[in-house]
Structure 1
Amino acid sequence: MWMPVETIAAPAGSWTTTALARTYLSADDDDGQDAIIQGMIDAAGAYVEAYTGLRLLTQTVRLRCRSFLDLERLPIGPVAQVTAIDCLTTDGLNPTLSGTLWEQFGFGLSVGVRPAAGKTWPVLRQVDDAVRLTVEVGYGADPSTIPPPIRQACFLLLGDFFANREDTSPDGVAKATLPNGVAALLANYRMF
């Protein structure tokens, strides 16, 4: 059982710039909307990350789970590297496990951690956050490293946010929750 992901070191930037977003939205440079557009950029990126379970740009996160069995598949991606594992053991110690005791395996969006050959996991306390991992995730520091379908889904959301700034139309009819194409573009990138 995985607990919510904690961001330790946020990405240095965003999945796009306000200048590129303005171009995509056909918004004037001098209309004073940059703060609003940046909020929509942030919201589109956050939505895609929540919908897929991915992190778009390089960042460091903390994962917590109850059991070493949970490590067979990490709930976030793309994983660049697991940098540390510590745990709560029955003897009351909180050891950081040496990198010689475990190994990362898999690739792409299917990465896990297992004991190294000939090694075993320590005995854990029975608490929800007994195992704690520090993980570097994301497609890279540069937005151009994000796969094109994911960036296009972000732009579709951005355009929808910009064009439809309310949840309902003037006649009170609820609008669709996602623009056409977002779910299809993200289908191969969902972690769950």
Structure 2
Amino acid sequence: MSWSVTTPPSEEPVTLTEAKLHLRVDTDMTDDDPLITSLIQAAREHVEAACQRALMPQVWTERRTSFPGTPTCPSIPGSPYGYLRVPSLAQQTILLSGGKVRAVDSVKYVDDTGTLQTLDPAAYDADLTSEPAQVAPAYGTSWPATREQPGAVQVQYQVGYADANSIPAALKAAVLLVLADLYANREAVVNGPVMSNPALSRLLDPYKRVLP
């Protein structure tokens, strides 16, 4: 299983004004504005990677080699191997990465002829209130058979908090801490003792999640 950012966020969780206030840079000093703007993005991406959680609204695509719980061979009546056991719903459930999922845009799969198909939304149920969000076949059904190849199943979904105001204060504070560190240390090598800020870990730890 792998995922990629299909559509990156159009805004950052911290504005340039908020960043300059935290960095103690006068608002009328604009020489560093392009640098600070780029570092805001870098700080946000650092926090997202550390927590495995999207902050601002964005679109992710998750790719799998097959649907979970899908039998790899057909059930053949009368065969010496008997019938294949039908996987349980839990075994067929897809757990989506990224934290707060707001919508599932599409579920696509490569069928046994090599054609990319889009699954009818009525063919699956999505629980977006849980975290991680869950996508499973509709009641009484199973996932369709897929060709065995990388990326045979592609789930595209909207992930991230609704807007900057919806992001927990701890995560915004973490972005500002990372931003200040990047702004103060602009070289690959730092002279003198290097000390980590324990506050950063305490801010991030409650929001870190293990990928399914």
Q: Same fold (TM over 0.5)?
A: yes
How do 1:19-58 and structure 2 match up within 5 A?
19-31=17-29, 32-58=31-57
Q: Aligned with 2:48: secondary structure?
A: helix
Identity of paired residues, percent? 28
How do 1:93-172 and structure 2 match up within 5 A?
93-105=115-127, 107-140=129-162, 142-171=163-192
Q: Aligned with 2:103: secondary structure?
A: strand
Report the residue type matching 2:44 in the other structure: G
Root mean square deviation of aligned Cα = 1.8
Report the residue type matching 1:182 in the other structure: L
CA distance in 2: counterparts of 1:47 and 1:82, whole angstroms: 25
Following superposition, the deviation at residue 183 of structure 1 comes to 2.0
CA distance in 2: counterparts of 1:33 and 1:111, whole angstroms: 40
Q: Which residue of 1 aligns with 2:99?
A: 77
Following superposition, the deviation at residue 107 of structure 1 comes to 2.5
Following superposition, the deviation at residue 108 of structure 1 comes to 4.5
**Would the alpha carbon gap of residues 28 and 74 (structure 1) be closer, same or farther in structure 2, given more than 3 Å must change?**
same
CA distance in 2: counterparts of 1:185 and 1:36, whole angstroms: 25
Q: Which residue of 1 aligns with 2:200?
A: 182
**Would the alpha carbon gap of residues 106 and 58 (structure 1) be closer, same or farther in structure 2, given more than 3 Å must change?**
closer
CA distance in 2: counterparts of 1:183 and 1:65, whole angstroms: 31
Mean alpha-carbon deviation: is it higher for 151-160 or for 70-79?
70-79
Q: Aligned with 2:62: secondary structure?
A: strand
Q: How many residues align?
A: 186
- Contact 1:53–1:190 (CA<8 Å) still a contact in 2? yes
Mean alpha-carbon deviation: is it higher for 128-137 or for 108-117?
108-117
Following superposition, the deviation at residue 29 of structure 1 comes to 2.2
Per-residue CA deviation, residues 166-187 of structure 1 (Å, 9 max, x unaligned), is 343335x5x34x5322222111
Following superposition, the deviation at residue 94 of structure 1 comes to 1.9
Following superposition, the deviation at residue 106 of structure 1 comes to 5.3
- Choose 1 or 2 for highest CA Rg: 2
Mean alpha-carbon deviation: is it higher for 66-75 or for 145-154?
66-75
**Would the alpha carbon gap of residues 187 and 17 (structure 1) be closer, same or farther in structure 2, given more than 3 Å must change?**
same
CA distance in 1: counterparts of 2:203 and 2:102, whole angstroms: 23
Following superposition, the deviation at residue 71 of structure 1 comes to 4.9
Q: Could you state the TM-score of these two structures normalised by the residue count of structure 2? A: 0.80
Following superposition, the deviation at residue 143 of structure 1 comes to 0.9
Following superposition, the deviation at residue 149 of structure 1 comes to 1.1
Following superposition, the deviation at residue 158 of structure 1 comes to 1.1
- Contact 1:15–1:143 (CA<8 Å) still a contact in 2? yes
- Contact 1:75–1:191 (CA<8 Å) still a contact in 2? no
Report the residue type matching 1:117 in the other structure: Y
Q: Which residue of 2 aligns with 1:86?
A: 108
